Amino acid sequence: PWNPAAEENFYRNSFLSWFADNWKCIPVKRGRKDVGAIFRMAEALRTSPMTLFPEGTRSRDGSIGRPRGGAGLLVLETKPAVIPVCIDGMQRLLPIGKIFPRIFKTIYVYYGKPLDLSEFYGKEKSKEVAQAIMERVMENIRRMRSEIEVMKNKKRAFSLRALLFGKKVGRQEAL
């Protein structure tokens, strides 16, 4: 899949640029309306999958932030299948500002079902509609986050029970 990537992080030298280009990254200028990047992303999204991050950045503490409308405009323009994904634990594995990941950290990745966003496609392409699309996506991601928390708590309880009682228990069922 194609990946939007912050130009100041991934395109600051020829070595990183080479990796970013080979990982199918599209450079995006942060903090500005990068019309060129949005155009390139729309072209790529018409023919290929793309990872889009509704918040536009990673979280320092793992909390879910407010979505930005740019990804919603891309969805309105290209009408792709949108599959919400919740990633929990990246702030521990690769904190913002670090170059190398920390080892032995667990992340959880939870994929949802494709969202039906057809109710938005007949509407005028506006910031409000784009934001409403992203709010719908984030609503699903928040729901997945709470399911991950339930799963993590069950896993902790399972591990504590095995530790306290010295029992090997069969495979734990996922949610």
Per-domain boundaries in the chain? 82-175
Cα–Cα distance for residue pair 73/71, rounded to 1 Å: 5
Closest CA to 46 of 70, 21, 80: 80
The encoded tokens of residue 61 equal 């503490």
Residues 74-131: tens digit of each pLDDT: 999 999 999 999 988 889 888 888 878 898 888 888 899 999 999 999 899 999 999 9
What radius of gyration do the chain's Cα atoms show? 19
Q: At CA 77, angle to CA 72 and CA 82, rounded to 5?
A: 55
The encoded tokens of residue 35 equal 């019309």
pTM exceeding the 0.85 threshold for the entire prediction:
no
